[in-house]
Amino acid sequence: MLKIGLRSVLAHRLRFALCTVAVMLGIAFVGGAMVFTDTLATALKKQFAGSTADITVTPVDPVESRNGPPPTLASAVVSEVAAVAGVAEADAQLLVSDVQIRKPDGSTIDTYGLATYGAGWPHAISTSPFRLIDGQQPFGTAELALDQSTASKAGYAIGDQVRIVSATRAVTAKLTGIITPAQAGPAAGAPLVVFDSATAQLVLLGKPGWTSIAVTLKPDADTEQVRTAIAKAVGDPYNVRTAAQVEADGETALDTTFGGFSSILLMFAGLALFVGAFLIVNTFAMQVAQRSRELAMLRAIGASRGQVTRTVLAEALVIGLIGSTLGLLLGIAVAAGIHFAYQQLGAAIPSAGLQITPATIIACYLIGAVLTLAAAYPAARRAGRLSPMAALRDGATIPERSLLIRLLFGGFLLLMAGCLYAVANHAGGMPGAVLIGLASAMALLGIVLTSPLVSRYAVRALMAPFGRKAAVTLGRRNAERNPRRTSATASALMISVALISGLVVIAASAKASIDASIAAAIGTSDLVIGSSDPDTFSPQVADRVRKLGEVAAVHQVRQQDGKVDDIPVRLTGVGDGTLAGPISVTLDSGSLDGLAKGQAVVPRTLAKTLNVSPGKTFTLVTTSGTHKLTVAGILSPNRQLNAIVVALPTYESFGGAPADSLLYVDVADGTSMAQASTAVLSELKDYPSIQVRDQQAYAAQARGPVNAAAGVIGMLLALAVLIAILGIVNTLALGVVERTREIGLLRAIGMDRPQLRRMLRVESIAVTLLGALLGLLVGVLTAAAIQRVLVDDGLGVLDIPVLQLIGAMLVSALIGVLAAVWPSRRAARLNVLQAIATE
Amino acid sequence: MIVNEAAVRAVGVTKRYGAGQTQVDALVDLSADFGKGRFTAIMGPSGSGKSTLLHCLAGLDQPTSGQVFVGDVELSHLPEKQLTHLRRDRIGFVFQAFNLVPTLTAFENITLPLDLAGRTPDRDWLRTVIDTIGLTDRLKHKPSELSGGQQQRVACARALASRPDVVFADEPTGNLDSQSSADVLGFLHRSVREFGQTVVMVTHDPSAASYADRVLFLADGRLRSELLDPTAETVLDTMKSLDPAVAG
């Protein structure tokens, strides 16, 4: 049976080419994601997860924040560790990320998104992750060392003055030493600046402290015993790990980081395969219908039902295997391309060669084969049910199964989706949004199942504006004649369009919400000073700006991450009058008076979650410890200030880093914004990471990430649309083959080629518009529902970009036109006489 | 009635398929006139070239050499588009089977050539034609809901709907029982008698040919004989004289 299947595939190459492409595109995503992740992880684990110390002691970070100042430990702890039996040496180390190293021209060195590290010079050579190559160890606040690669890239030689900007301070110091890049640990391969340890504490942390202790054991000591002893000595707030444990943790961290990326790729793989499955289902259904006589003949000459079914499945298997092979190759090429691009960027990712694991190959083939077989199965089973008598009858057709079960199940799904929407609306917040996503997935499936029922009427209504010319009527009727096929073809497009339009509406709403909240929140302030990479900056900046004649007042805002009941929160410290002027807030209840007494204002959503009201207390955990806070007031949703707010003195008493996150600047009377902006910029020109923006620019910057995210997701979704278009081309092309005789007849009685093309174009547009409209409907409704439940979580405004959506419909119609080009060219080339003579 | 003016003329038509050893001459230097307002039948054994002749006359196929005129238009040099429009506007077709577009109703099928041309149908003429085929009550039905004979009558009505210069019928009764055949042939006959239409029909059935005014007999791509005002008997006799095999 495999032989017959293989022959059939070869005989109908064209017909199967599109199926193969669909499988290939889906599998390319799967393969690409797996190969890329494996490659990156192998390369990074090789270098990043190592450790040079026998045992490492680090403070537990209660907040697990990825940005902001690192948790530190005091010198007393180092002494405690050194006193433990079996410890030969306990070396306190200091390593801080988010440091900027400036080039001689004042710009920041390029890091391509990787962190730049600052460190203190180690006491012990044995546990040091780097070595001195040239010059001398830096000493005092006026000297530093750089790693060799950074120094040569930036063009520094020993004796040059180098400017360093940390989260807390900016200094200029003389380059006295060149070191190797770090060989292990998080800073491995990254740009690195080193001070002597006292200076490092001052410049990098802004306060005394260390980030870890590297322990060297006495030769005869048992690692595990000493580890336990150290853990006992230092107590709970410290992680005490052996070299092996550090390595394992490093790998886990890498998996978390890159796991996110690869799961996004895999999600799109799933989408591509799902959409592709519609194409395969349709192809095989049409294929079996067209070959019903041939298959019935097989039955008549003695093939069993099972054998006929297996013949069709064998074809599917062949396609699945070919598609998987091509997809795997394409996936490897894609992964290699991404990897190559990374290397070209000069990022410090070591090369490890492409990792093509057996798991990847097996997964690709398994998914490709199983998917194709599953998609072809319904058609294969119907082929097996063909009566041998069908071979003898003219125009044998396979009886279609009743739509009833499909409709009932589809209706049930739609009903369930409706209920789920109601529940989601009640739940609100992120859980509500997730439920709505689920409900929409159910609704889409429900529509897929029930759409054959409505497709006829929908097509008729949609195509009404195209008039009643003969070719138009014929094309429309062709779209109506097989509702199952039309709706399956349209469904693939519907799903893609639903995702895209949902994304468009949510992105537009997010932007509109940002604009609205910024307009409402930046009350009276004229300029906003902020920074990126690092996100915080030295209080020196505020002092210098305050001295300017063009400036009337500067409001400092500090922020750090914290946790309440294990919920990540943001803590904001504001000065007197900041909430009355530059940030305008409204309170649901309570008042701002409590701030001066050390109390806190809590955002509405958090208050709801914690079930607190003014006068109640809650416990806040920050990097520096736990703090009891009393609620002074409840804050209405506010984008500028979606955080627990305390007064600056309270914030400082919590031990937060002395660094500002934002400065709101009031311009002096009689000074124009432009003048003030210029003055501030020229004062701060040695801080290139600092940005001075007015409201418009601030809003634009806040919208940036939304745009970027929407762009990336949109591009990946475009691939799903591409597969859906292939599906339309496929259905039309197969329809042309199926209706060869009819087309011959039409040509004979006087349909000219433009009319024939128009007929197919109309059919294509009908299918496309049906899919696009249903998709648009589901997408927009989903987005609107999500906006409703997230109204307190930053999506305050619903913005449906009507023009964009109308544009999307027009583009869909255009896609329909394009999809018809190739099939109609084939149809127009048909020889009239041969076409009429076709069986 | 003017009978000596030709609606369709073939002048020295040769149709050759293949080349070299596999070369087959389907038509050899064949000339014939098909008079206006006449019902002409073309007969001949399988492979005699009768269908090829019909296809060449109708502009569906190009002769290898020779000329075909529909009215005063010579077909061999017409571009594809004009050939198509000629078929649409001046020629009607009835095929052996699969004559109708399954997605259109009987009425829509009848008016299809007119709709394709963007012409408004002549209502009186259309009513006359539809009355004559006797399917007034089935006009809203799809082809799949009609019997084979009914489908062929709808096809005939379609062929006549645009008042073409000539109707070509290729074995129109080939798939029908005798009663349905009689209906279809009677209709073609009446369209010539009563409405002055021109019909050229290929058939291998002597009783079908007996409805015609004239029968042309083809064999091996050549015109062999001609019979005026035929009956089933005279047709059969002529066939016997041309092909001994039929006599048996």
Per-residue pLDDT tens digits of chain B, which is 248 residues long:
444 578 899 998 998 888 778 888 888 989 999 988 899 999 988 888 888 899 899 888 888 889 999 988 888 888 888 888 888 888 988 888 777 888 889 999 998 888 888 888 888 888 888 888 888 888 899 888 888 888 988 999 999 888 898 999 988 888 888 888 898 899 899 889 888 899 999 998 888 999 999 999 998 888 888 888 888 888 888 888 876 655 44
CB contact (8 A) between residue A746 and residue B101:
yes
User: Residue A399: what pLDDT?
Assistant: 55
Q: Is the alpha carbon torsion for A92, A97, A99, A103 positive or negative?
A: positive
Q: Does pLDDT of A712 surpass 70?
A: no
Which residues in chain A have Cβ-Cβ distances shorter than 8 Å to B108? 473
Q: Tokens in use for A430? A: 């992120």
Comparing alpha-carbon positions, the chain B residue that sits nearest to A751 is: B116
From residue A651, alpha-carbon distances to A501, A617, A646, A648 in Å are: 43, 17, 6, 5
Instruction: Return the higher-pLDDT residue of A64 and A796.
Output: A796
Q: Which of B51, B54, B56, B88 to mutate to test the interface with A (most CBs of A within 10 A)?
A: B88
CB contact (8 A) between residue B98 and residue A836:
yes
Amino acid (one-letter) located at A662:
L
Tens digits of residue pLDDT in A593-615: 888 888 888 888 888 888 888 88
User: Residue A153: what pLDDT?
Assistant: 81
Q: Does pLDDT of A412 surpass 80?
A: yes
Tens digits of residue pLDDT in A287-319: 777 777 778 777 877 778 888 888 888 888 988
User: Residue A522: what pLDDT?
Assistant: 56
* Phi, psi dihedral angles at B169 (to 5 degrees): -125, 120
Q: Tokens in use for A378? A: 């319904």
Largest CA distance in chain B: 56
User: Which run of H or of E encompasses B89?
Assistant: helix B80-90
Between A474, A480, A750, which is nearest B101 by CB?
A474
Distance from CA of residue A277 to its chain's centroid? 24
Which residues in chain B have Cβ-Cβ distances shorter than 8 Å to A759? none
Give CA–CA dist B67/B75, Å, rounded.
7
Complex ipTM value: 0.86
* Phi, psi dihedral angles at B49 (to 5 degrees): 100, 10
Give CA–CA dist A661/A43, Å, rounded.
35
Distance from CA of residue A624 to its chain's centroid? 32
Which residues in chain B have Cβ-Cβ distances shorter than 8 Å to A751? 84, 88, 116
Q: Check residue A579 and report its DSSP letter.
A: T
Between A471, A752, A833, which is nearest B84 by CB?
A752
A643 near A572, Cβ under 8 Å?
yes
Tens digits of residue pLDDT in A234-251: 877 788 888 777 777 766
A441 near A499, Cβ under 8 Å?
no
Query: Residue with structure tokens 């400065």?
Result: A663
Which residues in chain B have Cβ-Cβ distances shorter than 8 Å to A474? 101, 103-104
Comparing alpha-carbon positions, the chain B residue that sits nearest to A481 is: B103
User: Residue A365: what pLDDT?
Assistant: 92
% of chain A with per-residue pLDDT over 90:
3
Three-state secondary structure call for residue A60: coil
Q: Any chain A CB within 8 A of the CB of B247?
A: no
Which residues in chain B have Cβ-Cβ distances shorter than 8 Å to A832? 60
User: Residue A445: what pLDDT?
Assistant: 87
Instruction: Return the higher-pLDDT residue of A2 and A324.
Output: A324
The candidate with the shortest Cα–Cα distance to A795, out of A806, A785, A805, is A785
Distance from CA of residue A770 to its chain's centroid? 30
In sequence order, the 6+-apart residues with CB closer than 8 A to the CB of B161 are B92, B110, B111, B113, B114, B121, B125, B126, B129
- Cite the DSSP H helix spans in A345-403: 358-385
Distance from CA of residue A13 to its chain's centroid? 38
User: Residue A470: what pLDDT?
Assistant: 82
In sequence order, the 6+-apart residues with CB closer than 8 A to the CB of A273 are A23, A26, A27, A29, A30, A367, A371
Q: Tokens in use for A814? A: 């255009």
Tens digits of residue pLDDT in A630-686: 888 888 876 667 788 888 888 888 876 778 888 888 888 777 777 888 888 888 777
The Cα of A19 is separated from the nearest Cα of chain B by a number of Å equal to: 28
CB contact (8 A) between residue B101 and residue A742:
yes
Which residues in chain A have Cβ-Cβ distances shorter than 8 Å to B158? 749
* Phi, psi dihedral angles at A216 (to 5 degrees): -105, 135
* Chain A residues within 8 angstroms (CB to CB) of chain B: 469-471, 473-474, 477-478, 480-481, 741-742, 745-753, 755, 832-833, 836
The Cα of A753 is separated from the nearest Cα of chain B by a number of Å equal to: 8
Which residues in chain A have Cβ-Cβ distances shorter than 8 Å to B89? 750
Between B87, B98, B113, which is nearest A741 by CB?
B98
Give CA–CA dist A162/A171, Å, rounded.
8
The Cα of A476 is separated from the nearest Cα of chain B by a number of Å equal to: 9
Q: Is the alpha carbon torsion for A127, A133, A135, A140 positive or negative?
A: negative
User: Residue A401: what pLDDT?
Assistant: 61
Mean pLDDT of the A611-626 span: 83
Q: Which of A69-73, A174-178, A445-449, A512-516 has the highest mean pLDDT?
A: A174-178
Confidence of residue A1 (pLDDT cuts 50, 70, 90): low
Query: For residue A782, how many C-alpha atoms fall within 13 Å in the half-sphere facing its CB?
Result: 29
CB contact (8 A) between residue A755 and residue B116:
yes
Comparing alpha-carbon positions, the chain A residue that sits nearest to B159 is: A749
Three-state secondary structure call for residue B127: helix
CB contact (8 A) between residue B84 and residue A751:
yes
The candidate with the shortest Cα–Cα distance to A621, out of A560, A705, A548, is A560
Tens digits of residue pLDDT in A47-56: 555 556 788 8
Give CA–CA dist A286/A283, Å, rounded.
5
Give CA–CA dist B87/A231, Å, rounded.
97
A610 near A564, Cβ under 8 Å?
yes
CB contact (8 A) between residue A836 and residue B95:
yes
Instruction: Return the higher-pLDDT residue of A134 and A8.
Output: A134
B217 near B223, Cβ under 8 Å?
yes
Q: Any chain A CB within 8 A of the CB of B84?
A: yes
Between B85, B88, B103, which is nearest A474 by CB?
B103
Q: Any chain A CB within 8 A of the CB of B51?
A: no
The candidate with the shortest Cα–Cα distance to A590, out of A599, A577, A580, is A599
Q: Check residue A794 and report its DSSP letter.
A: T
Mean pLDDT of the A209-215 span: 86
The Cα of A296 is separated from the nearest Cα of chain B by a number of Å equal to: 22
Distance from CA of residue A127 to its chain's centroid? 38
Amino acid (one-letter) located at A36:
F
Which residues in chain A have Cβ-Cβ distances shorter than 8 Å to B112? 470, 749
Which residues in chain A have Cβ-Cβ distances shorter than 8 Å to B85? 750, 752
CB contact (8 A) between residue B103 and residue A741:
no
CB contact (8 A) between residue A474 and residue B88:
no
Give CA–CA dist A463/A402, Å, rounded.
27
Domain B36-55+79-247, CATH homologous superfamily name and number:
P-loop containing nucleotide triphosphate hydrolases (3.40.50.300)
Q: Any chain A CB within 8 A of the CB of B103?
A: yes
Q: Any chain A CB within 8 A of the CB of B165?
A: no
The model carries a pTM of 0.69
Q: Does pLDDT of A360 surpass 70?
A: yes
The candidate with the shortest Cα–Cα distance to A176, out of A126, A122, A127, A121, is A121
Q: Which of A481, A743, A749, A763 to mutate to test the interface with B (most CBs of B within 10 A)?
A: A749
CB contact (8 A) between residue B84 and residue A753:
yes
Q: Any chain A CB within 8 A of the CB of B89?
A: yes
The candidate with the shortest Cα–Cα distance to A435, out of A443, A449, A423, is A423
User: Residue B2: what pLDDT?
Assistant: 43
Q: Tokens in use for A154? A: 């930036």
Which residues in chain B have Cβ-Cβ distances shorter than 8 Å to A831? none
Q: Does pLDDT of A346 surpass 70?
A: no
Q: Tokens in use for A465? A: 């504006």
User: Residue B247: what pLDDT?
Assistant: 43
Instruction: Return the higher-pLDDT residue of B202 and A36.
Output: B202
CB contact (8 A) between residue A474 and residue B61:
no
Q: Tokens in use for A624? A: 């520096």
Q: Any chain A CB within 8 A of the CB of B170?
A: no
Overall size of chain B counted in residues: 248
Comparing alpha-carbon positions, the chain A residue that sits nearest to B80 is: A752
Chains A and B form CB pairs within 8 A to the count of 67
Q: Any chain A CB within 8 A of the CB of B119?
A: no
Give CA–CA dist A723/B200, Å, rounded.
51
Mean pLDDT of the A418-422 span: 87
Comparing alpha-carbon positions, the chain B residue that sits nearest to A833 is: B60
CB contact (8 A) between residue B103 and residue A470:
no
User: Residue B41: what pLDDT?
Assistant: 93
Three-state secondary structure call for residue A454: helix
Q: Does pLDDT of A113 surpass 70?
A: no
Q: Tokens in use for A317? A: 């298997």
From residue A467, alpha-carbon distances to A470, A475, B14 in Å are: 9, 12, 45
Overall size of chain A counted in residues: 839
Query: Which residues 176-235 in chain B show a CB within 8 A of chain A?
Result: none
User: Which run of H or of E encompasses A162?
Assistant: strand A161-165
Q: Tokens in use for A26? A: 């889906």
Count the Cβ atoms, other than its own, within 10 Å of residue A240.
22
